[in-house]
């Protein structure tokens, strides 16, 4: 199966599928005022519609789907969604990104339903600071959730940490934490979003310093796998865990883009920071529409731009990453 390919010869094996905009956290960089219900928005894609998205992308060469949001585990039918996508023979890995609040109870059930990899967001190892950042006093639940993922035998457990100024003081603690745990800590540079310009100006920290520090401390940049995404991965012989560094403001960041996105209401987004999105939902209503759906996805790819325009402060339509899934 030929993968979806754009004008710049980038191949897209990876779909990030948002299944809800709703979130119960109020992360300062994402939804500082909490999720605001919009009664005019369309309903979120149903299990059947999500299954058709997965089928179409699977038949176009996608092998990995990440479920995200909002908070994907806010969906009551989350296990059914995993199971439906798991039935698609061409999808080899189903991953999720979560704030972790339901993991302690559900990790093993989701694993049994077919989930293969989990990214948990954790921006501080200090319970009080975690509360300040997320608006939720759930540090110990999230930590228990991470342990539950390791116990449930997930082959891949990654921790997303947004790189902000306080991380500098916590770096030693984060590194000690992964010394004997097989976790990949992914430091993600804060990205500017439509609603977050002032916050960005105050808190953005380039990953460059961190990269230098890691190299000084004996961490080594791992060789890139041919189809790897834009993360730089570092390993260290004394650590069981790894570090990933995601620097969207780096010059060649978009060269290794390998992902497409579908929003919770069924729009295809060619870039996290692109514009309106391409409607797919009208073609998600029956199996008989699969050929037309696949043709629309394929023909849309010519519109994918070579890079985002974040350097010019153009953040596209993403007022917050919770709307199209970070």
Cα distance between residue 111 and residue 88, in whole Å: 16
Instruction: State which of positions 108-137 bind ligand SF4 (CB under 6 A).
Output: 121
Q: Should residue 20 be labelled a site residue for ligand SF4 when binding is judged by CB under 6 A?
A: no
- Nearest residue (CB) to ligand SAM, 110 versus 293: 110
Least CB distance to ligand SAM at residue 188 (A): 5
Q: Should residue 71 be labelled a site residue for ligand SF4 when binding is judged by CB under 6 A?
A: yes
Least CB distance to ligand SF4 at residue 30 (A): 3
Least CB distance to ligand SF4 at residue 129 (A): 14
Using alpha carbons, select from 226, 312, 207 the residue that is nearest to residue 9. Answer: 226
Site string for ligand SF4, 29-68 (x = CB under 6 A): -xx-------------------------------------
What is the binding site for ligand SAM (CB under 6 A)? 23, 29-30, 68-69, 71, 97-99, 121, 160, 162, 188, 190-191, 193, 196, 321-322, 325-326
- Nearest residue (CB) to ligand SAM, 53 versus 247: 247
Residue with nearest beta carbon to ligand SAM: 326
Which residues form the interface with ligand SF4 (CB under 6 A)? 23, 25-27, 30-31, 69-71, 99, 121, 322
């Amino acid at each position: 199966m030929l993968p979806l390919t754009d004008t710049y010869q980038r191949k897209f094996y990876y779909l990030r599928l948002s299944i809800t905009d709703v979130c119960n956290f109020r992360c300062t960089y994402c939804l500082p005022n909490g999720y605001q219900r919009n009664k005019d928005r369309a309903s979120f894609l149903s299990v059947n519609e999500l299954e058709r998205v997965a089928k179409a992308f699977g038949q176009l060469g996608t092998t990995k789907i990440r479920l995200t949001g909002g908070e994907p585990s806010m969906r009551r039918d989350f296990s059914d969604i995993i199971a439906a996508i798991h039935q698609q023979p061409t999808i080899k890995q189903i991953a999720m990104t979560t704030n972790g609040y339901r993991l302690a109870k559900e990790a093993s059930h989701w694993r049994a339903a077919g989930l293969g990899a989990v990214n948990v967001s954790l921006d501080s190892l200090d319970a009080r600071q975690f509360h300040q950042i997320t608006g939720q006093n759930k540090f110990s639940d999230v930590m228990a959730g991470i342990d539950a993922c390791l116990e449930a035998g997930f082959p891949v457990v990654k921790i997303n940490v947004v790189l902000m100024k306080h991380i500098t003081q916590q770096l030693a603690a984060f590194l000690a934490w992964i010394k004997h745990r097989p976790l990949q800590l992914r430091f993600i540079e804060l990205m500017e979003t439509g609603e977050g310009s002032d916050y960005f100006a105050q808190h953005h920290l380039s990953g460059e310093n961190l990269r230098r520090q890691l190299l000084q401390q004996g961490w080594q940049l791992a060789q890139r796998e041919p189809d790897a995404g834009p993360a730089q991965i570092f390993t260290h012989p004394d650590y069981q865990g790894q570090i990933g560094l995601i620097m969207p403001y780096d010059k060649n960041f978009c060269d290794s883009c390998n992902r497409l996105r579908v929003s919770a209401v069924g729009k295809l987004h060619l870039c996290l920071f692109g514009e309106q999105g391409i409607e797919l939902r009208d073609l998600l209503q029956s199996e008989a529409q699969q050929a037309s759906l696949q043709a629309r996805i394929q023909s849309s790819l010519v519109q994918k731009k070579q890079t985002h325009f974040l350097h010019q402060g153009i953040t596209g339509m993403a007022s917050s990453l919770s709307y199209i899934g970070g």
